[in-house]
Amino acid sequence: MKTNNQPLHQLDAWQAAEALARRDILAVDLVRSCLDRIDQRDSEVHAFIQLNADAALALARTLDAGPVRGLLHGLPFGVKDLLDTADLPTAYGSPIYAGQQPRADAAAVALCREAGAVLLGKTVSTELANMTSGITRNPHNLQHTPGGSSSGSAAAVADGMLPLALGTQTAGSLIRPAAFCGVVGFKPSHNRVSRAGVKSLSETLDTIGGFGRSVRDVGLLGAVLTGDTRLADPRNFDDSTNSAPRIGLCATPDWSLADEDTQQAWAQAEKALAGHAQTFALPPELQNLVARQKAVQMFETARSLRHEHRHHAHQLSASLLTLLEDGMRISGETHAQNLLAVAQQRHVAAELFVDHDVLLAPSALGEAPAGLETTGDPLFCRGWTLLGLPCIHLPFTHGRQGLPVGLQLVGRFADDHRLLAAAHWVHQRLTR
């Protein structure tokens, strides 16, 4: 079935949600369209590790025969293999946990199902959500990385296999794959989404979010995950009522490492947002965010994965072993000092939004790197993750090799709904 001559799997999540609620399309037809797309493409992209096709079709038929259940009624979604699912194995991207079957859904999965979403399958995570690549390829060029660690979720949405997918971020694992795959990636404010049922790496940093093809898509998903319906308020996405935000152009202290493609995207954004944006530099107290984020992540990940390190070291990659060993060398006293500094820096970060509603910043160094040996550098995401601020990647242009490039918007802590409203306004102007 098509809508306006458009295959159903190509619909944005919000478009499909409205059509499903009106009964203009059937959930079973949307699920079939996504499954057909997966059948056509996933042998090359490798976004999924497991499908739930029969159960998804059965649930879709039930949804079509009953009342509308919620904001995600009838929408297919995928779940990163870091989140538990009661009906599909969860291996955390590691052979250590191959075939492990949880008895319960992660909270985020349960909330999506309660809102009417249909789980199509588990998507690839890098090894224990760290930097060692999985099997997923970039759908825009199979010889390039999709990013990580939420690689399968980003690739599946980018390739039209799913309208929505769940992912997580500890450094840059939502924003970077969204940038490399050319989709919208949303990282909510830290602690706004329950992490119950998710393999923990860092209590200070871990955040659950997701991917869609538009800001309005991730607004639907965010509203379900946070319980804050303001994130899906239609007024956020109506230019007649959505006023221009005050935008700070924050290239960050690491701007010199951005390549030509990101620099061109930045120049394009400056032109498109002229009159609404002004250059903004981080204060001295926030100049060392990247180094501190690395230290916090290493310390906490080394202890969160202590069992795996002690008992299954032979099944861990060399790069992860190195990270865990480095993390164990950081003392508890140093970590306590880092946590105090993080609390102070998060307080300073609140002052960033006195004169600005949102900050525009780089998402990645440039296009997705060639090769599958690396997932790319999360440099431009680390600081915002440390501060716990909500972030959203906006794709709007392409680099020299024809791969997607974009930028991210950063909002005030717990102001996720206003970030989405600003992101919609900005994205409309960047894509004109």
Q: How far apart are CA 172 and CA 50, in angstroms?
A: 24
Strands 358-362 and 404-411 come out as antiparallel
Task: Report cis status (omega within 30 of 0) of the bond before 151.
Answer: no
Q: How far apart are CA 157 and CA 232, in angstroms?
A: 19
Specify the DSSP class assigned to residue 66. S
Note whether 249 and 216 are within 8 A (CB): no
- Candidate list 80, 122, 187, 199, residue with the active-site label: 80
**Sequence-distant (≥ 6) Cβ neighbours of residue 331 within 8 angstroms:** none
Residue 406: which H helix or E strand, with range?
strand 404-411
Exposed / middle / buried, residue 414 (Cβ in 10 Å: 0-12, 13-18, 19+): middle
User: HSE on the CB side for 144, CA within 13 Å?
Assistant: 22
Radius of gyration for the chain, computed over Cα atoms and rounded to the nearest angstrom: 20
Note whether 64 and 28 are within 8 A (CB): yes
Q: Which residue is associated with the tokens 């309005």?
A: 216
Other C-beta atoms closer than 10 Å to the C-beta of 369 total 19
Q: What's the CA angle centered on 362, arms 142 and 122, to 5 degrees? A: 45
Note whether 382 and 139 are within 8 A (CB): no
Note whether 296 and 202 are within 8 A (CB): yes
Residues 296, 299, 304, 309, Cα dihedral to 10°: 140
Specify the DSSP class assigned to residue 322. H
- Candidate list 33, 133, 149, 363, residue with the active-site label: 149
Catalytic residue at 149? yes
Q: How far apart are CA 262 and CA 179, in angstroms?
A: 11
Catalytic residue at 173? yes
**Sequence-distant (≥ 6) Cβ neighbours of residue 112 within 8 angstroms:** 72, 77, 119, 166, 221, 224, 225
Query: Nearest CA to 305 among 274, 282, 327?
Result: 327
Give catalytic residue positions.
80, 149, 173
